[in-house]
């Protein structure tokens, strides 16, 4: 059983260069990474 002091951890690799190239090549409007980072912060802290 999980204790209230247990912390969930999640690992995520984000290739920002390929993300930017994909958005550009798809002809999408300006991409705002802040929306994704804000959603990730809801799940826990971000460690770089």
Which of the four pLDDT bands, split at 50, 70 and 90, describes residue 43? Answer: confident
Summarised one tens digit per residue, pLDDT across range 7-41 is 677 788 888 899 888 988 998 888 888 888 888 88
DSSP secondary structure of the chain: ---TT----------HHHHHHHHHHHT-S---HHHHHHHHHHHS----
Distances from the Cα of 33 to the Cα of 1, 4, 8, 45, angstroms: 36, 31, 23, 16
Query: What does the pLDDT read at residue 5?
Result: 63
Query: What does the pLDDT read at residue 2?
Result: 56
Within a domain: 36:
yes
Within a domain: 3:
no
Within a domain: 1:
no
Within a domain: 44:
yes
Within a domain: 2:
no
Count structural domains, the chain.
1
- The residue range of the domain holding 47 is 8-48
Within a domain: 23:
yes
Residue 3 pLDDT > 70: no
């Amino acid at each position: 059983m999980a204790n209230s002091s247990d912390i969930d951890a999640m690992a995520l690799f984000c290739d920002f260069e390929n993300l930017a190239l994909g958005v550009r090549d798809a002809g999408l409007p300006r991409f705002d990474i802040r929306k994704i980072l804000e959603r990730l912060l809801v799940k826990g802290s971000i460690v770089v």
